[in-house]
Amino acid sequence: MKSANTSKNIARNLPQRKMDTTLLRIGGFEPFSTVDYPGRLAAVIFCQGCPLRCGYCHNPDLIPARSAGQLTFEHVLWAIARRKEFLDAVVFSGGEPLAQAALIPAMASMRARGFEVGLHTAGTNPSLFEAALPFLDWVGFDVKAAFDDYRKVTGADVGEKARASLKILVTSGVPYEVRTTVWPGRIGKTEICVMASMLREMGVRRYVLQEARTPDQKAWPGDDMLQDPAFLSDTAAMFDQFEVRRAEIV
């Protein structure tokens, strides 16, 4: 992982127009979460905008680059300051946080306030991701499909960018998990086996399979490989840590 001095140099060399935290477009805010950063009570900032069009997306309102309901960074700072004694961390989620260069000064601002900083990302901007890593304490990295097959899930040919970002993450020293959302009809047992082998070869040690949710937050209908003990056992054997994460039913 880069040193604190390197972090400062990266931030200093970014265009000053992009260093203003007020430029961060925020589509939502969750003041308390126990599930978005392992072992920490975190506030979650949902960044507006995403270059992907995943068919199972449960936050479609965050896909456009701008929204009429955006929050200001000052509002988020005010809300976090009111809860500072209860919070351990701040997580930047989305949408896709790496769609905005203003992410880095926003993370630095939270670090300066004494919070651990987490990031949920699909790694769509490797250069910005590498610049962000010195400001991060944990990363939840979404691998959508085998890197050569991203378009069928995301609608975009960004697999090589995701591969590059994951390579950077694995060697960075920053704690992380890699997770894949299981989308019935597109991501099945064959695809997961290919992906698991690929991830193991890249050095991934913790892998999570997530149940997809429909737009109304229900579990996605379809063949449930996540109920197959043999399949799950074989997948788990490839990693030091493995987890199945069920969709919340509301």
Residue 179: alpha-carbon gap to chain centroid: 9
Q: pLDDT band for 224, please (50, 70, 90 cuts).
A: confident
pLDDT at 183 exceeding the cut of 70: yes
Tens-digit pLDDT profile for residues 135-164: 999 999 999 999 999 999 999 999 999 999
Please enumerate in sequence order all residues whose Cβ is within 8 A of that of 234, keeping only pairs 6 or more positions apart, or say none: 193
Tens-digit pLDDT profile for residues 6-21: 333 434 344 433 456 6
| CB of 153 closer than 8 Å to CB of 188 | no
Phi and psi angles of residue 73, each rounded to the nearest 5 degrees, phi first: -65, -35
Q: Compute the distance between CA of residue 246 and CA of residue 212 in angstroms, rounded to an integer.
A: 8
pLDDT at 49 exceeding the cut of 80: yes
Q: pLDDT band for 57, please (50, 70, 90 cuts).
A: confident
| CB of 147 closer than 8 Å to CB of 213 | no
Tens-digit pLDDT profile for residues 89-101: 999 999 999 999 9
pLDDT, position 218? 59
| CB of 72 closer than 8 Å to CB of 122 | no
Q: Which residue is it, tokens 């260069």?
A: 101
With 0-12 / 13-18 / 19 or more C-beta atoms within 10 angstroms meaning exposed / middle / buried, residue 154 is buried
